């Protein structure tokens, strides 16, 4: 594909070099005027050294901690440089604040606290959520100011890409309904469009069917992306954005007593909570309700207020069915009360077939349900970019696009994906997503359940979370 690289004269420090770091490096070198001698990888482990050597990039094993991060980063970053944070167990907010002091740009693919921030059960569940960290980022945004060096929060596949897919999906639905489908100019316009369309729920609906010839062993956790990241997310309380149409608050639900109260949490881990959802190829399926930043930022962005009261907000959550080996791994993890697995295996080169069907399901509107997203196969991913699986390329291409956008918009302060130019991001990522399709469906969470065992369902409104949740 023909690419015009964006001009960048600074240095790039990559923090962490797992599957996403190894997959994004060739994309950065393709889309940014960045020579290998201006890149340095700072990571906590040896994995990936051979890939760094392949591209002639400096590679150093030096774990960042709360005690050394300022020293290690201050000696490597100056005004106009870029920190790409792909690590785990490093506080995103602490690093962002340091980057602002140094004048460096920043991007991460998920928001992270220091170790223990998600798992310390002596802390209230409310404070161990993505909502709590997102609200802290909003406070830091105000402190640093709107013209601080750009820091793009949570910009991978999801969170990240899905925010832009949601906007395009809304425009597609509006056009199909014969409504004005010109892109709104501001947040208020987007929120009014969602309200006018009557969107009640937004599922980040993902089904990963990638497989390898090597079966999962007992005690082994297998996945197609960061195992530490998945276990960390799955161990957190399940959480979701809570829509104004909802009328059945979960018995195990909790509300926050700070911030705009966009979301709620459940008193159980996400990897032990299931929901119903739908994608075009898989059809209906059950998925894990894993906490994610988009579950908070998307419904917050599309909230409509009148006279100080929220009159419209969609319910939003991640509905994730990982590869089958990961499902077995999660089942085992649950059975052992979330004790760390004996061993871990990241599937990448060993993957033989399968796709990652990742998109957004917008439902409750006049046309029922509409899924819009990527159906990327492992074969297509390998053809498009080295060191990538279907899952990783759906993360690495938006990460690359976010870096490009930040370079093009260097003084925007802290931004959520929803606050970025969706069209520019989609322009950069579309060549890497394989088939990108939109599909309507008459499926609802009540479909096929009419003749089963009697259930306590809300049959007047199929899109109540009560109907979506598997109990």
Distance in angstroms (rounded) separating the CA atoms of residues 346 and 335: 21
Contact by Cβ (8 Å): 153, 93: no
Predicted confidence at residue 334, as pLDDT, reads 96
DSSP state of 289: -
Q: What is the DSSP letter of 294?
A: H
Residue 471, pLDDT score: 87
Helices marked H in 16-58: 19-31, 49-54
Chain-centroid distance of CA 198 in Å reads 24
DSSP 261-282: --EEEEEEEGGG-EEEEEETTT
Closest Cα partner for 417 from 292, 233, 262, 294? 294
What distance in Å separates the CA atoms of residue 223 and residue 2, rounded to the nearest whole number?
Answer: 33
If residue 286 lies in a helix (H) or strand (E), which one and from where to where?
strand 283-288
What domains can you pick out in the chain, each with its CATH number? 12-152 (3.40.50.720), 161-389+432-470 (3.30.360.30)
Burial class (CB in 10 A: 0-12, 13-18, 19+), 225: buried
Q: Are 147 and 411 in contact (CB under 8 A)?
A: yes
Quick one: pLDDT at residue 123? Answer: 84
Chunked mean pLDDT (size 10), the chain, 471 residues: 92 96 98 97 96 98 97 98 96 98 97 84 88 96 97 97 98 97 97 98 98 96 93 94 98 97 96 98 98 97 97 98 98 95 95 98 98 98 97 98 98 98 98 98 94 84 97 87
242: nearest Cα among 182, 188, 202, 277? 202
Tell me the DSSP string of 376-445.
Answer: EEHHHHHHHSTT--HHHHHHHHHHHHHHHHHHHSTT--EE-GGGS-HHHHHHHHGGGSS-EEEEEE---T
Q: Tell me, what's the pLDDT at 13?
A: 98
136 CA to centre of own chain? 18
Of 108, 136, 93, 234, nearest to 127 by C-alpha is 136
Task: Give the per-residue pLDDT at 451.
Answer: 72
Q: How many CA atoms lie within 13 A of 44 on its CB side?
A: 14
Rounded to whole angstroms, the Cα distance separating 274 from 314 reads 19
pLDDT value of residue 117: 76
Cβ-Cβ contacts under 8 Å for 459 (sequence gap 6 or more): 446
Question: How far apart are alpha carbons 212 and 224 in whole angstroms?
Answer: 10
């Amino acid at each position: 594909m023909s690419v015009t690289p964006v001009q960048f004269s600074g240095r790039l420090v990559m923090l962490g070099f797992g599957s996403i770091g190894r997959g994004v490096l060739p994309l950065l070198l393709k889309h940014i005027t960045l020579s290998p001698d201006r890149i340095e990888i700072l990571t906590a482990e040896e994995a990936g050294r051979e890939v760094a050597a392949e591209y002639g990039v400096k590679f150093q094993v030096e774990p960042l901690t709360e005690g050394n991060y300022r020293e290690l980063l201050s000696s490597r970053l100056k005004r106009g440089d870029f920190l790409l944070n792909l690590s785990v167990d490093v506080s995103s907010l602490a690093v962002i604040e340091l980057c602002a002091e140094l004048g460096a740009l920043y991007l991460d693919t998920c928001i992270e606290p220091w170790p223990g921030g998600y798992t310390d059960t002596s802390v209230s569940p409310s404070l161990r959520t993505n909502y709590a960290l997102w609200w802290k980022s909003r406070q830091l945004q105000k402190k640093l100011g709107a013209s601080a060096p750009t820091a793009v929060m949570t910009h991978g596949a999801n969170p990240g890409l899905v925010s832009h897919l949601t906007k395009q999906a809304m425009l597609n639905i509006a056009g199909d309904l014969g409504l004005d489908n010109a892109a709104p100019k501001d947040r208020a316009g987007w929120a009014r469009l969602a309200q006018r369309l009557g969107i009640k729920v937004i599922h980040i609906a993902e089904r990963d069917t990638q497989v390898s010839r090597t079966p999962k062993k007992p005690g082994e956790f297998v996945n197609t992306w960061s195992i530490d990241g998945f276990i960390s997310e799955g161990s957190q309380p399940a959480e979701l954005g809570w829509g104004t149409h909802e009328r059945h608050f979960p018995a195990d639900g909790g509300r926050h007593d700070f911030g705009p109260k966009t979301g709620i949490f459940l008193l159980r881990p996400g990897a032990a909570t299931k929901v119903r959802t739908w994608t075009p190829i898989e059809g209906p399926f059950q998925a894990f309700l894993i906490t994610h930043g988009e579950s908070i930022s998307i419904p917050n962005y599309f909230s409509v207020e009148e006279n100080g009261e929220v009159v419209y907000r969609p319910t939003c959550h991640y509905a994730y069915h990982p590869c089958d080996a990961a499902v077995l791994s999660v089942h085992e993890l649950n059975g052992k009360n979330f004790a760390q697995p004996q061993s871990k295996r990241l599937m990448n080169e060993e993957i033989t077939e399968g796709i990652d069907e990742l998109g957004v399901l917008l439902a409750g509107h006049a046309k029922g349900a509409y899924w819009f997203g990527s159906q990327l196969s492992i074969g297509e991913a390998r053809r498009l970019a080295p060191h990538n699986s279907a899952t990783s390329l759906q993360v690495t291409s938006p990460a690359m696009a976010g870096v490009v956008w930040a370079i093009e918009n260097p003084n925007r302060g802290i931004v959520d994906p929803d606050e970025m130019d969706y069209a520019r991001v989609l322009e950069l990522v579309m060549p890497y997503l394989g088939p990108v399709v939109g599909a309507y469906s008459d499926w609802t969470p009540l479909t096929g359940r009419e003749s089963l065992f009697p259930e306590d369902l809300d049959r007047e409104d199929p899109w109540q979370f009560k109907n979506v949740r598997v109990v």
